[in-house]
């Protein structure tokens, strides 16, 4: 099923041809256009030169826009503003003028009054500790995976990352990982549709992304691929964010990689 983002992208791609009385289906013939391009390029190596001559240099379908300065622009603008001000003042009654004058006096008093800055967030040198506080990592769980806790000051922001080993996938399956990563962050799962998924990410998280990267196996020093799931959220939204991330791991990622002999390598949270 195509996702709404892809549908919008396809619609925008066909608008150019469609708006110039062409067939909207021409913008969808990607394979045919590529085959035609390869065939024409093999037959004529000056293809790009001819296209540039036809659509750029000799193209009469164009619009020439010329701008010229006006030496009296600023003076005319001031006169126009003065006329508008005079018309506005003349339309005011004496009562309107009195109320306007009183509001301006009140605004002036508020602007000149001393502000109470005690309610504003401030930071001084005395608020910074002289000694750095170190927190050692502690192992909090070993089943089914090793989970370590390392407390760090994050100013109320929570970060979580999960890395999944994809070395058990075939070469053809690795080619599908970018599409899989996009589906994870843009589609729903189970009974949760994509609208609910998107709403939870926007309301509870500062971001949810998934990407591929390569790392080294420290046991045999061979390179293998991983996919990483990362999210950020405020500490007050941890329950919602962890619940949503847990469902993604349990209902989408883990079933797929268990079938393909994949492993969750590590899960880090702060």
If DSSP states are collapsed to H, E and C, what string results for the chain?
CCCHHHHHHHHHHHHHHHHCCCCHHHHHCHHHHHHHHHHHHHHCCCHHHHHHHHHHHCCCCCCCCCCCCCCCHHHHHHHHHHHHHHHHHHCCCHHHHHHHHHHHHHHHHHHHCCCCHHHCCCCCHHHCCCCCCCCCCEEEECCCCCEEECCCCCCCEEEEEEEEECCCCCHHHHHCHHHHHHHHHHCCECCECHHHHHHHHHHHCCEEEEEEEEEECCCCCCEEEEEEEEEEEEHHHHHHHHHHHHHHHHHHHHHHHHHCCCEEEEEEEC
Confidence of residue 224 (pLDDT cuts 50, 70, 90): low
Mean pLDDT for the chain overall: 77
Please give the pLDDT value at position 163. 74
Q: What is the pLDDT of residue 2?
A: 42
Residue 263: predicted pLDDT: 44
pLDDT classification of 181: cutoffs 50, 70, 90:
confident
């Amino acid at each position: 099923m195509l996702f709404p983002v892809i549908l919008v992208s396809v619609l925008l791609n066909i608008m150019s041809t469609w708006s110039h009385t062409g067939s909207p289906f021409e913008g969808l013939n990607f394979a045919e256009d590529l085959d035609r391009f390869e065939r024409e390029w093999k037959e004529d190596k000056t293809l790009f030169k001819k296209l540039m001559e036809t659509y750029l240099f000799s193209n009469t379908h164009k619009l020439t826009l010329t701008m010229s300065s006006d030496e009296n622009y600023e003076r005319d603008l001031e006169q126009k503003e003065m006329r508008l001000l005079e018309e506005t003042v003349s339309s005011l009654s004496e009562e309107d003028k009195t109320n306007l004058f009183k509001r301006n006096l009140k605004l002036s008093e508020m602007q000149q009054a001393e502000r109470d800055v005690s309610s504003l967030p401030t930071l001084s040198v005395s608020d910074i500790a002289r000694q750095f506080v170190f927190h050692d990592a502690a192992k909090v769980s070993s089943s089914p995976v090793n989970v370590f806790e390392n407390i760090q000051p994050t100013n109320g922001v929570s970060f979580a990352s999960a890395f999944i080993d994809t070395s058990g996938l075939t070469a053809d399956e690795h080619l599908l990982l970018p599409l899989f990563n996009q589906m994870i962050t843009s589609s729903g799962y189970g009974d949760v549709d994509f609208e609910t998924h998107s709403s939870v990410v926007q309301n509870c998280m500062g971001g949810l992304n998934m990407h591929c990267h390569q790392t080294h196996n420290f046991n045999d020093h061979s390179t293998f691929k991983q996919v990483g799931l990362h999210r950020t959220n405020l500490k007050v939204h941890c329950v919602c964010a962890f619940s949503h991330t847990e469902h993604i791991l349990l209902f989408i990622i883990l079933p797929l990689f268990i079938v393909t002999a994949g492993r969750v390598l590590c899960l880090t949270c702060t």
